[in-house]
Structures are given as structure tokens and as C-alpha cells.
Chain A
């Protein structure tokens, strides 16, 4: 195979672009050993249909996903969190598998029994990203099952929260209410037909139907409306007027007036309108209740850290819960595992990747005796640590507690509530005025007119416009990679006037690097030699070097890696060293923060060093410039230095360096005290406080499986440059709500004036009510869609 082939080759398994020299096997290309192994496994089990169902469906085994040693799953405390039931050696477990993303995934995960005979049945719930497996535990321990899942790239995520314990999404009671509402609405309308058509009451058809309709109205009031009554009552008790108060008033007026009409023989009542009202209101509730069930917006600190670690006592290694660790315990942390407590390094060389905390992807080297803070991830060989303080006292835990106990963000009144206050007042005034007027003219008309006003003024369309406008906006944003927690976030976003960015991991990509060579020029041959040596090292910087240099590789001989210093070897007959300045015989000049250096010595001469830094995400400069046209923009970073490229984008804006987690949230709080509405974009745990403090907190994530701090919204890293568009859309959505409110108010005014004049008939009510609801929903849907299309083409 010619390593210089220029055509891009994609991996047969995962679809990633393959490096120049990659693995070919069975006539197919693979980007890495992992993908090849999965293919082999599937091929052996005859499961290659996997590749026919979707194009390149495979999941690359991602080191950033928190992976614990599989045998930890056999510990009772961990096991009991996953197991649904276990009887006579047959066990059912439920895993959270965030990696599943397509129909191939579903197919493979439900065909597990063909790879592993001990699996009896496996079922996927795609919406929850949950996998439940029934298997013979006597033949295959839970840890074996976990290993199998990891081998095929669907390693389950183990967090402290019990899988499936927190069900979100549409509550099933809402579905039942919706079903009952539809049933009652349809039947009531059908039974009202003789009334609509003005049929004669021969054979007692009309009066017979009448009582049936009365019967149907009971579940409407006592089952379907309870949520609205409860919310209205809560509003009255807390002395705030919410939108549910006029609605509850309308429902009560409708029902009591209709009953009165029927019992006194005045007419058929408005039962059909009542059922329709509840049906439409519940549709609004249902539309609003839709959320991204697989995403979790609220997280505890414990979710981020391993549940169990290996404690070493003498020569005995035993698993222990993180919460039970005592000062002075020795623990073992292996490659890719998180350090759960503050600890001192006792054995081995640690390369701690703090991307979890700060977003900084470059690992920091620690030597024996150094302190390692909780939350760092070890990359490289296993290390032994001495626990400095128990988990409850760790810096991370305290930080988290501080954030939770914070003052909280300033309240933002909902537009709909402010409107509801005036609306309710107006309705009460009008009905009082109408009552007074009719009292003077014809006192028998007081009751009918007052109830008619209350009925027609019931703000059904008003209550529908917000759920539909914001619900649509949420879906449109979700399609582009921004996932909002709920509809209220849209309104908060619309009022934002300040955007605060975190730098590391947010504006700079997590895994992409920028490499610069400082020293005497390297020939192509030199680069080949360096890349060949770098390939032999497990150090993260070597991996970057190997990835960034695009030259062909040769075999390296006599390779020797010295922990904490570097790697040396002979390539093409030339002795080469890569590593620290001292190791390569150079002198270390002043270091720049946020930059790592790899020194190079060839043929015994120090040639210079590679400076490796993170690269800003593409398109960000343009997006920031766009944002700055309308809003205040600020940058808060924990680093001492900001890349010149980014600094140029933020020229003249607030840029604060060396911000600790508390500095960030304080800065946001200060902005809010000055009356600004702040949107914060961040990623690491150190932004968690600021994200919670800001009016809208958005978390950036690169993989769907990553853990994110608590926030209002989760954003795909690739969608960040669309932030101006998202803000624009949110503001548009708010304007659409205002417009639809105007439309529904027009209906109300027309209706109320008809009712106040005493001309309201059941037929007019039955037409007006659905007409206003349907037209408002139609307008909102269409307008949101047009707003999205319009701002996208811009």
C-alpha cells in the first residue's frame, strides 16, 4: 500500500477519515485497531447486516467516556444499581448506553444473543438510550456482559444515579388525559348535532342526548381540569396572577352556566365548547412537555466521579466506595480512570488530563510527591496515590457545594404572566361593568351575560400560543444541535443582552491542536524520523505529534521510554530523542501558559522544540463579530494568556484572564447586578457555578456520551458558531408569541362584546372557540417555521 495515497479513505466501521497508513483487513479499510476488532467480532457472529442498515454506523471507542474497570460491576453496590431483578441465575439489567444513535445500533444491541449465548433477550429503548438485557448470570457475570458491550463499542455509562430512576418526558397521565379529552370532545360534538341542526325534539332525541352530554362533562371538570385548578389555586395563594387563573375561571363559568341552562330548561349549554377547550389546552400542554429524554440537564457531582476505586493494602487490592476513602489510604488509578479525591502521587508518573474540570485537553505531568486534585484523568500507566483528604472534603466537592448554595440567578418574569395579570383584571372589570349595566336594564340577564363574558374571555388561544411557539423553536434548535431544557429557556434567551464565553474547551476545541516548530528547519526526512519515533510512545503529546506530522513512517529500533523524561530510539540509522529540554540536551526558556513543548534532539544535537497549543474552533471569529454587533460579549478564562487570534475577535470587549470558578460566577453576578441578562457558554466543571448563575447557561459537548454540568441547554460543539442564529430565533419566537397574543385578544374582544350585548349562543361559542385556537396554533407554527428559514438563509 502506498502511504502517500491522497484520496481520503473512510473507516468501514465508524466512518472516520483514516490516517494515511491505516489498517486494511478483509478488503476493507479501518481507522484503528478497535474498529477492526469490532468488525471481526460481528463478522464471526454473522452480524454484518449491521453495516447494511446504515452507512458506517460503528461507534469509535472513545477514551473520553468514563470507563471503569469491568470487574467493578460485580461489586454488590454497583450491581444493585443496574439489576432490575435476579432469580435462579437469570438476571435482568438496565444500562444507560448513550452511544446508540441509529437503527444499526438498535439492531446490533437487540441481537446480542447471537454473539453471546448467555444473553437471553436484549431490548433497546431508543428515546431513553437505555438497554435492558436478560441473561444467565450463572454463566456470564455482569462484568463479562459489560466487557462484551465495550468490545462492540457500546460500553454502558455507570453513574451514581440509578438507571431509569428519573423518568422525564411526557408524563403518561397527560396522555391519558388527552385520550379522555378527545373521547369526550368527539362524543359531545356528535351528540350536539341535533342541537346544531335545530332538529325537532320528537321522540325526545335532543333531551335524551342532553343528559348524556351532562354525564360526559363530569370527567372534563373533575379529571381533565385538575391541573389548571391546582395551578390557579397555587397562584391565588402566592398572590400572583398566572395564566391558569382566567382559564380556571372560564372552565368554572362554562360548566356552571351550562348546568344551569340545562336544569332550568334555558338551552343546551356549552358542554361541547368546554370539552373542546380542555382538548386544545391539553394538546398545548403535551406539546410543551416534550423534552430530550436522553439528555440530562441536572447532574450531581457524584455523576462525574467513579463509584468505586481500588484500594491497596499491603499486597491486597480491594474495591472500596469513593465515599468511604480515608486520609492515608492508598488507591490505584489506571489508564483513563478519574482521580476521585485530592491525593498525593506515591508511585509512577502521572499524566493528568484536567479536561473534565477546565476543558484543557493537554495532560500535565506530575511526579512522585505532587498533589493531584480530584477530577483529573490519568493517561498512561497505572499510578498509586495516597488519599489526602476524604471525598466530602475535597476541593471539588466544596466547589460544588458553594455553587449549589449560591444566591441563584435573578428571577425573570414570564411575559405570559404579566399579560395574564392585566387580562384577568380586564375580564373582571368588563364582567362587573356588564353586570351593573344589565342590573339596571333587565336583572334577569345579569347571570347569563356575566357567565357569557367569562366564557368567551377564557384565554384558550392565549394559553396555546406560548407552548406552540416555544415548543417549535425548541425542536428547530434541536435539529441544529442546541438542546434546550424547556420552553422557558427560549424566553430567557430572547432577553439576553450579554454573552459570556469560557475559553478552554469552549472556544478552543478539545482534541484539535496547533503545532508550531521552533528551532532549526526540519527536512522531510527529519519529520519522517520524528514521526516514526513518536508512534512508539503512549504519551499524549507524542500522539499529537504523530497525528500532526503527515510524513510516512519507518520502523524505529532500540526504542526506550524514560518515564517523566521522554523517548529515544534509532530510526533510519539516526539516534533521536523526544521529550523534555533536559532529556534532549537543550535549555528551557520561559514557558508560555497553555502551551506544551516537545524538545527534539537528532544525531546528538538539540534541534529545537514543537510548541503545541489548542486551536480555536473554526468560524468562531465570525460568530463573535456577529454577536458583538448586537450584544455585549465577554471572555472569561482560567488561563493566563489568550491566543492572539481570539484576542483579536474580542478586541475591546471584556476579557478576563486567570479566573477561578468562583471568579467566573462572581463576574456573571456583577453583570446581573448591573441589570444585564447574561448567557454563558462553558463546558468544564469549573464553569458549573457560572452556568448556574447566568440567566441562560449553555454547556458545550463534543460527544453525546460526555457528562455535562447542570445547565439550561446542551449544545453540540459544532453548532457553537450558529449561536447568533439561535439567539435571533429565540427573539423571533418571542415576537411571534406577542403577535399571536394580539390575534387571540382580537378574538376575545369580538367575543366579549357579543357576549356583553347578550347575543352569545352555544353555536357561536362552539364555532369561535376552536376557530381561535386553531388559527392561533396555525399562525404560530407557520411563523416560527418562516422565521427559522429566513434567518438561516441570511
Chain B
């Protein structure tokens, strides 16, 4: 049964890592703009030149 203490400790630590990652993401401004990154990802292909219909 004592294995559960190890498990709990490990899982809490993992959760703590995710919490730290979340705080890092907030500080880096990942939640500042929710529109442009979503659009940006669709735009990355190079468009064709002068062949617009």
C-alpha cells in the first residue's frame, strides 16, 4: 500500500510541472491574443504568383 504514497508524490509533482508550465505560458503572453495565432497557422503555405483567377 505504501506504493500509493510514491504514486501520489510523483503525480503531484507532475501536476506541479504542468502548473509551472501554465504560469510560464501566461507570463510569456500565450493568452494575450487568441485570434491571430489561430489564423496564422493556416497561412503558412506560399501562395502562387500572379495566377489569381
Contact = CB atoms under 8 A, between A and B. Distances in A.
A208 B42 CA distance: 50
Contacts of B19: 179-180, 183
Interface string A565-578: 00000000000000
B33 A175 contact: no
A125 B23 contact: no
Contacts of B34: 127
Interface stretch (A47-55, A311-319, A534-542): A47-55
Contacts of A125: 32-33, 36
B35 A126 contact: yes
Contacts, number: 79
Contacts of B26: 172, 175-176, 179
Q: Most A CB atoms within 10 A — which of B33, B36, B47?
A: B36
Given A183-B15, A187-B12, A106 B1 contact: no
A46 B33 contact: no
A106 B15 contact: no
Given A51-B52, A103-B39, A172-B26, A212 B1 contact: no
A46 B50 contact: yes
Contacts of B1: 202-203, 205
B47 A46 contact: yes
Nearest to B1: A203
A43 B52 CA distance: 8
Contacts of B18: 183
A53 B43 CA distance: 9
A47 B23 CA distance: 38
A127 B15 contact: no
Interface in A78-131: 103, 106-107, 110-111, 123-128
Interface in A163-201: 170, 172, 175-176, 179-180, 183, 186-187, 191
Nearest to A128: B33
B47 A127 contact: no
A107 B44 CA distance: 9
A107 B23 CA distance: 29
A300 to B, nearest CB: 25
A208 B43 contact: no
Contacts of A127: 32-36
B47 A47 contact: yes
Interface in B8-45: 8, 12, 15-16, 18-19, 22-23, 26-27, 29, 31-36, 39-40, 42-43
A757 B29 CA distance: 50
Contacts of B16: 183
Contacts of B42: 103
Interface residues of B, number: 30
Nearest to A125: B33
A441 to B, nearest CB: 42
B18 to A, nearest CB: 8
Contacts of B12: 187, 212
Nearest to A174: B26
Contacts of B23: 176, 179-180
Contact of A110 (B27, B43, B48, B49): B43
A203 B5 CA distance: 10
Contact of A106 (B2, B31, B40): B40
A209 B8 CA distance: 9
Contacts of B5: 208
A175 B26 CA distance: 7
A50 B18 CA distance: 39
A650 B12 CA distance: 68
Contacts of A191: 8
Contacts of B40: 106, 110
Contacts of A111: 43
B32 to A, nearest CB: 7
Contact of B47 (A49, A183, A205, A212): A49
A124 B47 contact: no
Contacts of B2: 203
A172 B39 contact: no
B26 to A, nearest CB: 4
B28 to A, nearest CB: 10
User: When A and B form their complex, which 5 residue pairs have the shortest distance between CB atoms, in order from nearest?
Assistant: A49-B47, A46-B49, A48-B52, A126-B35, A203-B1
Interface of B: 1-2, 4-5, 8, 12, 15-16, 18-19, 22-23, 26-27, 29, 31-36, 39-40, 42-43, 47-50, 52
Given A46-B50, A47-B47, A106-B35, 19 more contacts: A43-B50, A46-B48, A48-B50, A53-B43, A125-B32, A126-B39, A127-B34, A128-B33, A172-B27, A176-B23, A176-B27, A179-B19, A179-B22, A179-B26, A183-B18, A183-B19, A186-B15, A203-B1, A208-B5
23 contacts: A46-B48, A46-B50, A48-B50, A49-B43, A51-B52, A52-B52, A53-B43, A123-B36, A125-B32, A127-B35, A172-B27, A175-B31, A176-B27, A179-B19, A180-B19, A180-B23, A183-B16, A183-B19, A186-B15, A187-B15, A205-B1, A205-B4, A208-B5
